Structure 1
Amino acid sequence: MTEQRIGIIDIGSNSIRLVVYERTSGGAHRVIDGSKRAARLSEHLDENGALPDEVIQQIVDMINHFRLICAHHKTGLIRAVATAAIRNSANRSHVLERIESETGLAIELISGEEEAGYGFLGMINSMSVTDGLLIDIGGGSTEVSLFRNRSLVEAVSFPFGCVSLTRQFSKGGMLSDQALKELEQLVEQAVQRQPWLKQSPGLPLVGVGGTVRALGKMHQAYVKYPFESTHNYPLTGEAAGELFELLRKLPIGKRKNFPGLSKDRVDIIVPGLAILRTIFRAVGASHYLICGTGLRDGLFYATRFPDRPRLDDITMYSVNNLAALHPEAPMQHTAQVNRIVLQLTGLLKARLSDGDNAMLFIDIASTLHRIGAGIDYYDYKRHTFYLIINSRLNGLSHRELLICALIASYKSKNRTKQIAAYYRPLLSEEDIALVCKLGTLLQLAIALDRSETQAIGKLEATESDGKLHLRAVRASGALGVEHKEVDSISDDFKKLWGLTPILYSPEQR
């Protein structure tokens, strides 16, 4: 039984989107539906800068369609916002009145600064970056913000976007050298009027929105990147520049077939990337970071948690959220394994090359190691691996996400090497060695609660003479199952750690 469903409708300049969020009875949040319709509203402004009635009717029809989807899901609250195209239209009052009277929905016309704020909230709740510049290139506006220590410092909304500048500078989807020069000049002059933008060189430029996501998808396809997610994908200025020049030279007919580029973005991608590159150079950014969240996510957090929309610990929030989405996993057993493995990792930390990060990795892996059992118990490790790498665990790089997934699903050193081979550019030999060590440590913690009864009330762990002494200070029962399980993995454990684990029942002290 769900407790709450929230629909977010974003009436943007390039597209109109719906996302339906659900809060499950276990307290987890997830997206249960979504829809997108290309709109190109900035393209349809007439010579007076007004949106024609037939275009307004199309918006009304789309929103009524989205309302039906929300009704189907019994959505308790729908929040609809309009951005640059309606904000900049000469007849915006008429547009809003018609939409509201014909859909029954109140439409919030948000300012450029508010748009930047919601975009920032969506990003900061999904990435662990501390300082940087944030850019969101929409169809009719471009928001740029500066953040320091994970707080918004400055924000500006420029009155141009990929659709409006395509209309202004592009002929048949192509951008000539002269047109590119004029476009860059327009963007540079806008940046010059905001002196703070040039006062923080050397920071990453974090990008949200369709233009930047398309850049990430195309680059991943271009270099045959082995990991599918573009969220948290880093990109150098040179790599983006190379791709930009390649796309700019391609005729529209050929550009349509460029891997990773969606058909409805073929004509606007080059002007969009031109805006991005010009701002990147003007602010002296170090590199790009692509973010898969943005305005709609920010609106969700602001609506769902109005008092404290910014999350304190984005990584553990998303880990616990993912665990709560898979309530079939035995919670008491998972909590016991988590407690034991953190205790053991703390004891053996000095034997690890990356001790501090190891604590985080093992915490995540042990919390999620059983989520795959909801699909099929007999092959749950394979399903756990798949679920972790395909669920957005925020605040982790692609490498860190893979490490956590491999530890959580660890079976043997050989199997780990086989899987890691596919992701070779992302994982080093040291990473694989760390996975194997932490994977066997997780197996030991699972063995210490093999009966899944939390029989060991308190564990004392010490190491001496090549042995890992595990003393159950308080225990209910004889721990027969646990003894057998610890014995069965002791050889593998010794090979990796140089220690033989020995379990002592309370009477063996």
Structure 2
Amino acid sequence: MRRLGLVDIGSNTIRLVIFEYTESKGLQELQNIKTPARLYQYLDKNKVMKQEGIDVLCDTLNSFQQVAAKFNVEALYPVATAAVRQSKNIEEIIERVKENTGVTMQIITEKEEAFFGYYAVVHTLNFSDGVTVDIGGGSTEVTYFEDKELKFSHSFPFGVVTLQKLFFDNKKHNDEKAVSQARAFIKEQLQGLKWLAKRKVPIIAIGGSARNIARIHQSLVEYPIAGVHGYSMKEEAIEVVYKKLMNSSMDDLEDLDGLSRDRRDIIIPSTLLFKELYHEVEATEFVFSRKGLREGVMMSILEKEYKHPFDKHEVFKESLRNLAYSYNIGQEEAQQRQKLAEMIYYELEKNGLIDGSKLDKKLLLQSAYLFYLGSYIDSDAASQHTYYIISNSSLNGVSHRNRVKLALLSSYKNKTLLKFYADETGWFTEAEKAKIQLLGSILKFAYALNSSNTNVVNSLYLEKSKDRYNLVILYNGDPIAEEYQVERQKKHLEKIVKAKIYITFTENLQ
């Protein structure tokens, strides 16, 4: 186990994130605290950071070191971006910080900042192609990637604090003239980046401003599940948020759900950037990534110490494995469920009883892996806990809709509970719910076939006999628990085949 801390010294905020990494659970965030330091405001007109700003930085780092010590952090990595990077007295800042805190800051270059954001995105979201954008206080990084490989990157020397100072200083947050001037400036800057136009791919947005926009929209539409990582919005949704911000007074913004108080004066400049970027890229959607610079830096550090700790081509698979480990699902029992579910699925498909598809089979196997993980909390309420854990977990590499579908299937108990859970979101058609019920019936039976968790069942096959079906189950060991449970659960398969099923357990002597 490694426990590491990263201090992200940005232009707008300074944030401490404490991570824990194990090969079984992957990279997990233990603690995340921030302070709105606004270091950019301490840069004078000559880009020299004032003494007051250096003092704020030193005080914050000393406080964060105390927190890190209480969490037994073995190494702390302070990384600084635009506000420090753009300072003319950068050497003085580094020296003063070292003297007052004992910490040596690492200055992240523009190119590195763009790369780390991209790196985190492709390792935690399942998009092959995309444009990333990370708007900070004093700079904005954009990248373009294809097949998860970085093609282009650029850092603009302006961010939300810069835009606020340039166009909204001593003006209302929604001043029409300031908005018009800021929009024209942003548009001109984006158009100057020739590789950006008309990519027609998703925009993946990183950072606090994007997170606030996603949360505001979730609040406005009364979004039924938790989490913003992977949250997707269309252009109209961004417009809804923008109009809400423009039509709100500063007092109204203070009470707006999803908006941090310290971002009230800078949220409109960031929204303008996202709107113009969406138009320039001709984007297909706007997706928020909770993972960015900090995770990218930490992943890069761990890549040097471990052999392939992260796989950008198996993001969701790794996420499922880590979740299963967190809820004490054993690898052997999970793999046995997958094996049994796959055999049942094949027999039903072979006999023409279901119309199979690769996507259905993939979802079935993913759900078999996590089936009833909620029993870790309470076996009597395993279905309920399973649904709410999975549907509200921040899983990497899967859309929110597919995450809920996975939750519905992994928690399947009966048609009544399925309808109850599905009605919470209202996202699924009757045909989709019927398919989930069918796959869930297979899972229930597969679960019964390993009731003792001793993996006694080796194989099975289904045969038609007049007006009934015979299911022959081959085993090694003692299937006493399985014999009892499959008789109770065979009704789920009988609804699929629309006939009686007779079950025979046969010892596998081979």
Counterpart AA for 2:48: A
Structure 2 partner of 1:194: 193
SS in 1 for 2:8: strand
Offset of residue 105 of structure 1: 2.2
Counterpart AA for 2:425: Y
Is 1:263 the counterpart of 2:261? The answer is yes
Is 1:383 the counterpart of 2:382? The answer is no
Counterpart AA for 2:378: D
8 Å contact kept, 1:145–1:154 = yes
The 2-side partners of 1:370 and 1:331 are apart by: 14
Correspondent of 1:295 among 293, 296, 300: 293
The 1-side partners of 2:499 and 2:132 are apart by: 49
8 Å contact kept, 1:122–1:298 = yes
SS in 1 for 2:227: coil
Q: Which moved more, 1:167-176 or 1:21-30?
A: 21-30
The 2-side partners of 1:376 and 1:428 are apart by: 30
8 Å contact kept, 2:442–2:492 = no
Offset of residue 57 of structure 1: 1.3
Offset of residue 468 of structure 1: 5.7
Offset of residue 215 of structure 1: 1.1
Structure 2 partner of 1:107: 105
Correspondent of 2:63 among 54, 58, 65: 65
The count of corresponding residues between Structure 1 and Structure 2 is: 502
8 Å contact kept, 2:24–2:322 = no
Residues 25 and 148 of structure 1, relative CA distance in 2, 3 Å threshold: closer
Residues 210 and 359 of structure 1, relative CA distance in 2, 3 Å threshold: same
Structure 2 partner of 1:472: 473
Offset of residue 227 of structure 1: 2.1
Counterpart AA for 1:132: G
**Alignment root-mean-square deviation, CA:** 2.2
The 2-side partners of 1:207 and 1:25 are apart by: 28
Offset of residue 186 of structure 1: 1.8
The 2-side partners of 1:432 and 1:23 are apart by: 37
Structure 1 partner of 2:184: 185
Structure 2 partner of 1:273: 271
Residues 107 and 218 of structure 1, relative CA distance in 2, 3 Å threshold: same
Counterpart AA for 2:374: G
Counterpart AA for 2:190: V
Structure 2 partner of 1:320: 321
Correspondent of 1:397 among 384, 396, 399: 399
Structure 2 partner of 1:131: 129
The 1-side partners of 2:25 and 2:127 are apart by: 27
8 Å contact kept, 1:166–1:173 = no
The 2-side partners of 1:450 and 1:480 are apart by: 9
Is 1:19 the counterpart of 2:17? The answer is yes
8 Å contact kept, 2:139–2:158 = yes
SS in 2 for 1:125: helix
Structure 2 partner of 1:371: 373
SS in 1 for 2:7: strand
Is 1:437 the counterpart of 2:438? The answer is yes
The 2-side partners of 1:415 and 1:100 are apart by: 59
Residues 9 and 463 of structure 1, relative CA distance in 2, 3 Å threshold: farther
The 2-side partners of 1:351 and 1:178 are apart by: 66
What percentage of aligned pairs have identical amino acids? 28
Structure 2 partner of 1:80: 78
8 Å contact kept, 2:450–2:456 = yes
* Residues 323-350 of structure 1, C-alpha deviations (whole Å, 9 max, x = no match): 12223x3443333112211232344457
Structure 1 partner of 2:338: 338
- Which 5+ residue runs of structure 1 have no aligned equivalent? none
8 Å contact kept, 1:169–1:175 = no
- TM-score, length-normalised on structure 2? 0.93
The 2-side partners of 1:201 and 1:25 are apart by: 37
The 1-side partners of 2:10 and 2:121 are apart by: 18
SS in 1 for 2:17: strand
Residues 154 and 352 of structure 1, relative CA distance in 2, 3 Å threshold: farther
Residues 299 and 25 of structure 1, relative CA distance in 2, 3 Å threshold: closer
SS in 2 for 1:360: helix
8 Å contact kept, 1:473–1:505 = yes
SS in 1 for 2:195: helix
The 2-side partners of 1:181 and 1:353 are apart by: 56
The 1-side partners of 2:32 and 2:258 are apart by: 20
Counterpart AA for 2:176: D
8 Å contact kept, 2:124–2:312 = no
Offset of residue 177 of structure 1: 2.4
The 1-side partners of 2:70 and 2:244 are apart by: 45
* Residues 282-319 of structure 1, C-alpha deviations (whole Å, 9 max, x = no match): 23223212222111111121111236455330001011
The 2-side partners of 1:158 and 1:427 are apart by: 42
8 Å contact kept, 2:148–2:312 = no
The 2-side partners of 1:59 and 1:497 are apart by: 68
8 Å contact kept, 2:384–2:411 = yes
Residues 442-457 of structure 1 aligned to structure 2 (within 5 Å) = 442-456=443-457
The 2-side partners of 1:382 and 1:505 are apart by: 32
8 Å contact kept, 1:17–1:36 = yes
Offset of residue 386 of structure 1: 2.0
- Which 5+ residue runs of structure 2 have no aligned equivalent? none
Structure 1 partner of 2:410: 408
